[in-house]
Amino acid sequence: MQVGNALTDDYHDYLGLFQFWWSAGLISDDTYKQLKLLCDYESFIHPSCTASVSQSNRLLKRMHVVGHASEKYDPCTEKHSVVYFNQPEVQKALHVIPAVALAKWETCRIVLDIYHELIHSGLRIWMFSGDTDAVIPVTSARYSIDALNLPTVKPWRAWYDEGQVG
């Protein structure tokens, strides 16, 4: 299974995102320090870091960063998903077990446990991220992979497609 640019858990996603913005020179040292100080990495949206993220987004927007990190997160997107996937006809179409359907469906904030379950069942997962992605950067993917605490089978390496770095 391939998983590209995946949101895996808010903590590691934000940790890697802020580090990427800073290490790529997209935000100042002061902004990076503010993000680390004011943001609660456990939540995708947290009031304490809204101002710092907004400031970062304004800077990124001026630079026309690929990946549109400057676009605001629309909380309605999540709300619409919750409403949609809790509809009985949708759950029936997806073959949701009736006993499970009694529980309210919610979006995932942490999927690391799901990766563990899939890997331990024998499924191989290839996680990848773009090295210039300012939304789900490679640093976020690396932190998430490390959080799985799995043994290294093959060491990290760059991969290529027809001589170009993948």
| Chain segment 104-140, per-residue pLDDT in tens | 888 777 788 889 999 999 999 888 887 777 778 889 8
Question: Which residues lie below 8 Å from residue 158, measured CB to CB, with a gap of 6+?
Answer: 165, 166
> Tokens 């609660």 correspond to what residue?
40
Using alpha carbons, select from 161, 163, 162, 156 the residue that is nearest to residue 127: 156
Question: Structure pTM?
Answer: 0.66
On the 0-12 / 13-18 / 19+ scale of CB atoms within 10 A, 9 is: buried
Note the pLDDT of residue 53: 64
> Does residue 29 contact residue 22 with C-beta atoms inside 8 Å?
yes
- Name the token pair of 151: 């043994």
Note the pLDDT of residue 69: 47
> Tokens 């100042």 correspond to what residue?
28
> Does residue 125 contact residue 115 with C-beta atoms inside 8 Å?
yes
Using alpha carbons, select from 156, 152, 149, 141 the residue that is nearest to residue 9: 141
Q: Of how many residues is the chain composed?
A: 166
Mean pLDDT of 20-41: 84
Tell me the pLDDT tens digit for each residue of 44-103.
456 666 656 655 665 555 554 444 444 555 555 667 888 898 999 999 999 988 887 778
Mean pLDDT of 22-26: 89
What is the residue extent of each domain of the chain?
Answer: 2-72+109-165
DSSP 48: G
Does residue 40 carry a pLDDT above 80? no
- For residue 54, give the amino acid letter: S
Note the pLDDT of residue 65: 47
Could you give the CA distance from residue 41 to residue 30 in angstroms, rounded to a whole number? 18
DSSP 45: S
Could you give the CA distance from residue 3 to residue 1 in angstroms, rounded to a whole number? 7
